[in-house]
């Protein structure tokens, strides 16, 4: 019996298998348009998996399929070893309260305060919780997401874009998830706000032992916090690997994305150190050589 063989997890039992998400042979079509064709993807427990791909390649649709908001035309999706495509609806509900989701647009309820937003999933999955305990938990999640305590009583419209993302994160963390889905969490944030959000994601992964499925266009995020990155192109996942190894691959989109001017500009000091650890890989060695060169016209040239 493999570690991913379906077995119903106890309510307070954590998933111990190696692969909390296994997608195989996924097909998604909208009318004539085929978004995914035989897409396979395996996510490892405890990793931050970055998901990249051009706009419209189906990253959000993939996430929606995994969390059951989009019924695939074909294929199998296992989360925590249980099939969501064939599973008994009761068991599927048991899996659903083990993940948290931050949607691309934030998707907070505008008529509810931040605290009330965080309480929505608590009310749904723990109806017996007293109102006082629910408020306390919401307050704690708001603080955990790096917001000041006063934010609990504010409405989404009263927050900055960065604060709204954190409020969305607080709601995603409401049920103490083992798995966190983030759809472009740093889009629209200034570089400092984005870096702070990245650090928070990494800290949450490390301290709470989360597995993170992270859709992003942000090259800094990919370099700084992702353990591996999955690349969506040609209607499937064409590669899953560390950034230095992806940079080795001879695919036009991958080369343009990671080795183009923006890709190079995103190589911060920390990312450079990471590349230096992979000097056995020609692309990493090359990138380090290019970036170590003083700019043309400088005194050191």
Ligand X SMILES: Nc1ncnc2c1ncn2[C@@H]1O[C@H](COP(=O)(O)OP(=O)(O)OP(=O)(O)O)[C@@H](O)[C@H]1O
Residue 163 has φ and ψ, to the nearest 5°, of -70, -35
If binding means CB under 6 A, how many residues of this protein chain bind ligand X?
11
Q: How far is CA 248 from the centre of its chain?
A: 23
53 binds, among Mg ion, ligand X, none (CB under 5 to 8 A by kind): ligand X
CB of 6 to ligand X, least distance (A): 28
Q: Smaller CB distance to Mg ion: residue 187 or 266? A: 187
Name residues contacting ligand X, limited to 91-110 (CB under 6 A): 104
Task: Please pick, from the candidates 15, 26, 41, 60, the single residue that binds Mg ion as defined by CB under 5 A.
Answer: 60
In the region spanning residues 27 to 46, those forming contacts with ligand X, defined by CB under 6 A, are 30, 35
How far, in Å, CA of 108 to CA of 32, rounded? Answer: 32
- The region of 56-64, 174-182, 219-227, 245-253 touching ligand X under the rule CB under 6 A is 56-64
Q: Does 58 bind ligand X (CB under 6 A)?
A: yes
Nearer to ligand X, 82 or 216 (CB): 216
Instruction: Give the three-state DSSP class for 1.
Output: coil
263 touching ligand X, by CB under 6 A: no
The piece of 10-18, 58-66, 163-171, 261-269 that touches ligand X (CB under 6 A) is 58-66
- Got the DSSP string for 209-275? --EEEEE---HHHHHHH-SEEEEEETTEEEEEE-HHHHTT---HHHHHHHHSHHHHHT--HHHHHHH
Among 19, 45, 59, 165, binds ligand X (CB under 6 A): 59
Report the C-alpha gap between 184 and 102 in whole angstroms: 9
Cα separations in angstroms, 173 against 50, 145, 204: 19, 8, 10
Number of CB atoms found within 10 A of residue 290's CB: 11
Residue from 20, 26, 39, 60 touching ligand X (CB under 6 A): that is: 60
Out of Mg ion, ligand X, none, what residue 109 binds, judged by CB under 5 to 8 A for its kind, is: none
Residue 35 or 95: the one with the smaller Cβ distance to ligand X is: 35
Sign of the alpha-carbon torsion through 52, 58, 59, 62 = negative
Phi first, then psi: give them for residue 56, nearest 5 degrees: 85, 5
Residue 186 binds what, of Mg ion, ligand X, none (CB under 5 to 8 Å, by partner type)? none
Name the residues that contact Mg ion, by CB under 5 A.
Answer: 60
- In the complex, the residues that contact ligand X under the rule CB under 6 A are 30, 35, 53, 55-61, 104
């Amino acid at each position: 019996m493999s570690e991913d063989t379906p077995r119903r997890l106890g309510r307070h039992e954590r998933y111990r298998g190696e692969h909390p998400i296994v997608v195989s042979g996924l097909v998604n079509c909208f009318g004539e348009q085929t978004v995914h064709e035989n897409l396979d993807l395996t996510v490892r427990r405890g990793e931050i998996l970055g998901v990249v791909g051009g706009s419209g390649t189906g990253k959000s649709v993939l996430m929606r399929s995994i969390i059951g908001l989009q019924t695939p035309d074909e294929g199998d999706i296992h989360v925590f070893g249980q099939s969501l495509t064939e599973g008994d609806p009761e068991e599927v509900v048991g899996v659903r309260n083990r993940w948290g989701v931050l949607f691309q647009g934030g998707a907070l309820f505008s008529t509810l305060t931040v605290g009330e937003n965080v309480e929505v999933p608590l009310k749904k999955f723990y109806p017996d919780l007293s109102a006082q305990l629910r408020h306390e938990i919401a307050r704690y999640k708001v603080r955990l997401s790096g917001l000041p305590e006063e934010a609990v009583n504010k409405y989404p419209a009263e927050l900055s874009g960065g604060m709204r993302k954190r409020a969305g994160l607080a709601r995603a963390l409401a049920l103490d998830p083992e798995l966190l889905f983030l759809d472009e969490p740093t889009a629209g944030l200034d570089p400092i706000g984005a870096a702070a959000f990245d650090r928070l994601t990494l800290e949450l992964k490390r301290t709470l032992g989360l597995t993170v499925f992270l859709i992003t266009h942000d090259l800094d995020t990919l370099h700084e916090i992702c353990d591996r990155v999955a690349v969506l192109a040609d209607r499937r996942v064409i590669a899953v690997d560390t950034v230095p190894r992806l940079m080795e691959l001879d695919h036009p989109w991958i080369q343009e994305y990671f080795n183009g001017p923006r890709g190079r500009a995103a190589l911060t000091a920390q990312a450079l150190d990471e590349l230096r650890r992979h000097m056995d890989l020609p692309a990493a060695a090359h990138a380090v050589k290019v970036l170590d060169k003083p700019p043309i016209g400088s005194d050191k040239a």
